[in-house]
Structure 1
Amino acid sequence: MVHSGTPASDWIKAAARIVPSERQLAWQEMEFYAFIHFTVNTFTDREWGTGDEDPALFAPTELDARQWVRACKSAGMTGLILTCKHHDGFCLWPSKHTDHTVSASPWREGRGDLVREVAEACREGGLRFGIYLSPWDRHEPSYGDSARYNAFFLNQLRELLTGYGELFCVWFDGACGEGPNGKRQEYDWPAYYALIRELQPGAVISVCGPDVRWCGNEAGCVRSSEWSVVPAHMQDNEKIQAESQQVDDGQFASRIGTQDDDLGSREVIRRHSRLIWYPAEVNTSIRPGWFYHASEDDQVKSLEELLAVYYGAVGGNATFLLNLPPDKRGLIHERDLERLNELGNHLRETFRDNLALLARAEASEARGEKHTPAMVLDGDKQTYWSPREGTEQAWLQLELPGRAIFDRIVLMEHIRSGQRIERFRLDARTCDGSWQEIYCGTVVGYKRICCFDPVEADAVRLTIEQSRWCPTLSGFGIYRSTAKEARA
């Protein structure tokens, strides 16, 4: 509904009070995690299989799930999502509902279960484990007979939800093809979601699901303003193109889609009657392809490219899902390992020392003793500074104990209280005592990493120029990077 005749303060206040679920919050705090694409495609040198591949092709000689976990941890990742079944229908676990599985392969003499090996390696290594299950199955004869296939798919989904411990994510894409009988398969999304909620209530459902949305591309590109509060129709499973839809009050609202640039500004949300918390995930591969191809060994993304995606995603109120394709040996390739280690070392070194920890914080105002400026420096995501309710412009200043050189500032909102900040500016007090603008931005959300040219200063001021109802800030960190990379 267009909020015509309704005071802006009312619908802005309502938007500010939309908050994440506990599962969404736990997922957001993971920040950076891995995709593992590995199946018969690895051995046929394809991206998409046809479904008629001989399971005997699946024959990794040195497969080591612990090596995958070590690779993820070297980069600073917190979780791993395994492609348990891709569009070819080959199952990496011994499913009881098809013979197109690892049981029919020579790997582990037909007694292997790769899903179990990866789940156990993740638990041992301290990573959270998630699953990808393709709704499109080019091998299964019942595909295209919607009722039969949905029952088959639910049976396989149940196996994965009950056999491998706690999952942090169930990842679906929307791929859909013609069945062998020529009928179009209609996925029973509500039944899939209901089973996940029943058996894995802590798992988010991405990105064809109600918890996490696709950023709109697979190139790692991100918006300058990534809103977590968006119109409710963004949860639709079909790709949405810009169109008009009739709404309850007889007026018309612009229907926005995942690839639109603006998903949640005031101009957008004022046209919609129902808003939801629906945050973004940015996914891309460390190589051009999603599966391993030897021809791409010299095309591993550079450190600079990976950092640009990281700062745009994790530093832009999204999460970063980076694909790592094991090779025919069943190992992450040495070139990928080298790059992951470089990335992890850079991030660990850059964000090791917070130059703001000994700073003195002051602000234009504070909402009582529980929300003082000092709360942004205590390292606790549950505490935060906020001005009085209804105060939409405010400032917060950090006085450093001395001059310091820095080029990174990390801001974090208290998203349990919603996403509030809409526009802000950062200024630094330089050696001559003058104030210099070093960064201007729009949304903050869970985390905003502000990247700029190095500056030497003894104070930093955050000016919130526009916010919803009143801003919150739970973290304010100042850092110096350790490598030359693309400025985000």
Structure 2
Amino acid sequence: MFYLKMKQLLFVLTFQLLSIIGFTQQVKAPAPYGTLPGENQVQWQKMEYYMFIHFGPNTFTDKEWGHGDEDPKVFNPTQLDAGQWARTAKAAGMKGIIITAKHHDGFCLWPSKYSTHTVRESAWKNGKGDVLRELSDACRKYGLKFGVYLSPWDRNHPAYGTPEYNTVFANTLTEVLSNYGPVFEQWFDGANGEGPNGKRQVYDWPLFHQTVYRNQPKAVIFSDVGPGCRWVGNENGFAGTTNWSTLNTAGFEPGQKAPSTKVLNQGDEDGKSWVPTEADVSIRPGWFYSAATDDKVKSINHLLNIYYGSVGRNANLLLNVPVDRRGLIHANDSIRLMEFRKVLDQTFANNLAKGTKVAASNVRGGAKQFAANNLADGNYESYWSTDDAVTEASLTIDLAKETAINRIVLQEYIPLGQRVKSFAVEYWDGKKFRELDRQTTIGYKRILTFPVIKTSKVRVNILESKACPVIAEVQLYKAPELLSLPQISRNREGKVSIQSESPDAVVRYTTDGSEPTFSSSHYTQPFDFGSGGIVKAKAFINNGAKASETVSNTYDQASQKWSVAGSDKDKRLDRMIDGDARTFWMSAQSNETSQRPIIIDLGEKLTLKGFSYVPRQDGNTGGIIYQYSFSTSEDRINWTRVVNNAAFANIKNNPVKQDVLFERSYAARFIKLEVLSTVNENDQQITVAEIGVITR
């Protein structure tokens, strides 16, 4: 009897052991697919949102790209407080700060022993200051990560353009990367212009990368081709609606030898390197502080669109907040950052899917560790997956009751690779599922935005995946609905129109620079504003109880009396003075245009303090002017060269309105713009959206 019981017990134990072994084999985790991120890249992606700070002599000279010939004593912030920068970034919800330690002008924000163009030679703190020391200390104090931008282009260093300079720059990198603690990101761009000797540098990128990794082995290196993360291909802050974190980098370099902007924006589906996207954009039109842009800080709506177009499309958001001449973040910028943070907090405070029941068409091995409920647990490290052979599947989130939603967040578990190629989202209308959206890639994070719907069930259909899908999170939210911003425009005749997309809104406006209130002028029809000034507008509802943000536009002289030479034969020439930046004139041949400059008759004598150029705004860079000369005349016979062989700095990457201020005022009835080159070497035409004058 004893023998029989022992035999039965042995049989049961053997069966249980075999069952455990079989179960373990069934629930083996999905194998990694394709190119994978490094651990430092995964942690970098989780940062999502951090601050860029452009600061240097350009802050004091009102330039975007300095020439390297500025007196270093011009750099003299009177109230510099890196703690204020860090506190602002922390309060804004940002995870770190990257600063322009050395921009193209060569000026170093630390007392470098490899340059004579540094804070040591400045008036700030009698040459005893070190911006990098103060900022790195402030970042540590407030729990932020610290990053640096060092431009290889140096318009000041005498060795630039020689083989010696690569060693100088590598030594400069070592100096920064070994003296200020951990650096989470080393930021490079591919700008490569002439130095003080008129020569360009052949950059030794392998040397630069080796230098970074020797000093900061965990740093993520940014450039057009990484290797840590890549430029998004524009300075608007928007990644592609399709965005792969993988890229083919062989044969490419930062700058002129970079992949196309389309590839940078979308990645390569089967790229051999993991180089995720970073979207850089400024909270103002330019990168460096200018008092002229104090009223041009991006609106909450604009920032939200950027956030959903970057973080919401598998990219990190690097938002530039320039420091002003005092050495402080301007109140207009910090207030907007706090307003933006408030809306984000309100939007993502309550995940309506958390803790709900989630059903899946397939669960990997039927195992609990890969169950669909992992999608609603708020934990990125747990995930749902399917059997290896299943690359199409559906997930249904049961909200139990009708719920209002307008945001959906999806996340792939990227340590195992990026897999999903297309997906669709449906919602239950009470009778059937209706398609809400259909998109391509997901990546680390994908956020879908849509008008509010009420539903009790949401279904996510993985339509195509390159291997079994591995999804970490599906989240649902109800974001606050914001009033649409008024849109201000002025036509050639000088009449201002203000439109609002909110049908029940009342628009109030001012023209004296004051903030609009519900008692300000009520906009009902276009009004005359030919002499220029500042128009500010706000939309109100509920008898003023709720208001939009303020929108502000600054205008100079209207172009009603103007004419472009040759416009009697080519009416399209008037597009450059029609007051509408959405239209643009395109020449026939760039060399023909160079021989025949653009001449505009202002119709009357004006006192000019400068001029403005608006490049085409359709997303294409073809024909955008880069180098130019500008002249004025009172009679169209005798001309005064006001600006000679100048360039619109960074206009290819940041094609915004360019204001050029003269050193003194000029009386003129005629102006002449001579185009010397465009931003693309092979352009056969030039393009102009608007040309204006500055009289105020």
Query: Normalized against structure 1, the TM-score is what?
Result: 0.89
1:217 and 1:259 in contact (8 A); partners too: no
For 1:461, give the aligned amino acid: R
For 1:345, give the aligned amino acid: K
1:234 and 1:258 in contact (8 A); partners too: no
Aligned residue number for residue 10 of structure 1: none
In 1, Cα distance between equivalents of 2:395 and 2:221: 37
2:189 and 2:255 in contact (8 A); partners too: no
Aligned residue number for residue 211 of structure 1: 228
Deviation per CA, 1:2-38: give whole Å up to 9, x if none.
Answer: xxxxxxxxxxx99942211112111111101111000
Aligned residue number for residue 379 of structure 2: 380
Which protein shows a greater Rg? Answer: 2
Alpha-carbon spacing, 1:465–1:350, altered in 2? closer, same or farther (3 Å):
same
Aligned residue pairs, count: 453
Aligned residue number for residue 262 of structure 2: 259
In 2, Cα distance between equivalents of 1:261 and 1:84: 25
DSSP 3-state at the match of 1:319: strand
Query: Paired residue for 1:89, among 95, 106, 114?
Result: 106
Alpha-carbon spacing, 1:433–1:337, altered in 2? closer, same or farther (3 Å):
same
In 2, Cα distance between equivalents of 1:77 and 1:31: 8
Aligned residue number for residue 120 of structure 1: 137
1:376 and 1:476 in contact (8 A); partners too: yes
Query: Paired residue for 1:197, among 201, 206, 213?
Result: 213
Aligned residue number for residue 276 of structure 1: 273
2:230 and 2:264 in contact (8 A); partners too: no
Aligned residue number for residue 404 of structure 1: 403
Aligned structure 1 segments of 4 or more residues deviating by more than 6 angstroms: none
Tell me the CA shift for residue 483 of structure 1: 3.4
For 2:438, give the aligned amino acid: C
DSSP 3-state at the match of 1:424: strand
Alpha-carbon spacing, 1:288–1:34, altered in 2? closer, same or farther (3 Å):
same
Alpha-carbon spacing, 1:415–1:23, altered in 2? closer, same or farther (3 Å):
same
Aligned residue number for residue 657 of structure 2: none
In 1, Cα distance between equivalents of 2:56 and 2:198: 26
DSSP 3-state at the match of 2:243: coil
DSSP 3-state at the match of 2:284: coil
Corresponding position: 1:365 with 2:382: no
Tell me the CA shift for residue 310 of structure 1: 0.4
DSSP 3-state at the match of 2:178: helix
Unaligned runs of 5+ in 2: 1-29, 485-696
1:15 and 1:275 in contact (8 A); partners too: no
For 1:446, give the aligned amino acid: Y
Aligned residue number for residue 457 of structure 1: 455
In 1, Cα distance between equivalents of 2:74 and 2:257: 38
In 1, Cα distance between equivalents of 2:147 and 2:115: 22
| More deviation, 81-90/219-228 | 219-228
Percent pairwise identity:
46
In 1, Cα distance between equivalents of 2:483 and 2:92: 16
For 1:423, give the aligned amino acid: S
Corresponding position: 1:310 with 2:307: yes
Aligned residue number for residue 175 of structure 2: 159
In 2, Cα distance between equivalents of 1:483 and 1:386: 34
Higher strand share: 2
Alpha-carbon spacing, 1:485–1:276, altered in 2? closer, same or farther (3 Å):
farther
In 2, Cα distance between equivalents of 1:354 and 1:327: 38
Alpha-carbon spacing, 1:311–1:235, altered in 2? closer, same or farther (3 Å):
farther
1:414 and 1:473 in contact (8 A); partners too: yes
Query: Normalized against structure 2, the TM-score is what?
Result: 0.63
In 1, Cα distance between equivalents of 2:383 and 2:161: 52
1:240 and 1:258 in contact (8 A); partners too: no
Q: How does 1:102-117 map to 2 (within 5 A)?
A: 102-117=119-134
Aligned residue number for residue 440 of structure 2: 442
2:104 and 2:152 in contact (8 A); partners too: yes
Deviation per CA, 1:68-126: give whole Å up to 9, x if none.
Answer: 11222232111110100111111100111122111122212221110011111111111
Aligned residue number for residue 50 of structure 1: 67
In 2, Cα distance between equivalents of 1:163 and 1:96: 13
Alpha-carbon spacing, 1:28–1:235, altered in 2? closer, same or farther (3 Å):
farther
Aligned residue number for residue 319 of structure 1: 316
DSSP 3-state at the match of 1:259: helix
Aligned residue number for residue 50 of structure 2: 33
Aligned residue number for residue 327 of structure 2: 330
In 2, Cα distance between equivalents of 1:304 and 1:72: 19
2:233 and 2:264 in contact (8 A); partners too: no
1:358 and 1:400 in contact (8 A); partners too: no
Structure number with the bigger relative contact order (C-alpha 8 A, sep ≥ 6) is 1
Deviation per CA, 1:231-279: give whole Å up to 9, x if none.
Answer: 23385324357xxxxxxxxxxxxxx52334884576xx4xxxx622111
- Could you say what the CA RMSD is over the residues aligned between the two structures, in angstroms? 2.0
Corresponding position: 1:473 with 2:471: yes
